[in-house]
Amino acid sequence: MPDPTAALYVRLPHTEFDKLDRAADALATNKKAIVTTLVSRYVDPDSDAGLDHLRTIAGAPLGDRKVTIELPDKGVVVGHHAFTPAPMPQAPAEVLTAPQAAALLQVEEAELVALAESGELPGRRIGTQWRFSRAAVIAWLAGA
């Protein structure tokens, strides 16, 4: 037989949480019993009158708060969600400066430049600056 209950995780403002906690202590019961009783008494999503009553006691309009009701098997689900997408990762540069190439290889910049000047590491000097192809540095590191 499936579990006849469902989990409900709610973050309450401290004031309301303290009131619920004190009520549970005073009534010698748990918060689950109080919330279950309140929902069964005040939440009627199947009638316009029940929804109007909820709007009245919730201080309509509800603003940016959302109420989701899934019926019939899942019971009542109430929640709010906010989503902030992560920034898109930038593609690595194909042409690297000496400090970038040194960071890629995890060596000191002077050591990297010495390898490039000796011709061991593939790179090009443009004026006084060194430039390295990311693909060539990785191929060199792989021993290709």
How many domains does the chain divide into?
2
Cis peptide before 72 (omega within 30 of 0): yes
In a domain, 122, yes or no: yes
Whole-number average pLDDT of the chain: 82
Q: Which residue has the tokens 């309009």?
A: 61
> Is the domain of 19 the same as that of 69?
yes
Q: What pTM was computed for the model?
A: 0.39
Q: Tell me how far the alpha carbon of residue 108 is from its chain's centroid.
A: 37
Strands (E), 10-134: 67-69, 76-78, 95-97, 124-126, 129-133
Residues 71 and 19 in one domain: yes
Does one domain contain both 18 and 73? yes
pLDDT value at position 97? 95
Indicate if 73 and 118 belong to the same structural domain: no
Question: Which tens digit of pLDDT belongs to each residue from 24-78?
Answer: 888 898 888 888 888 888 788 888 888 887 777 776 554 455 666 555 565 555 6
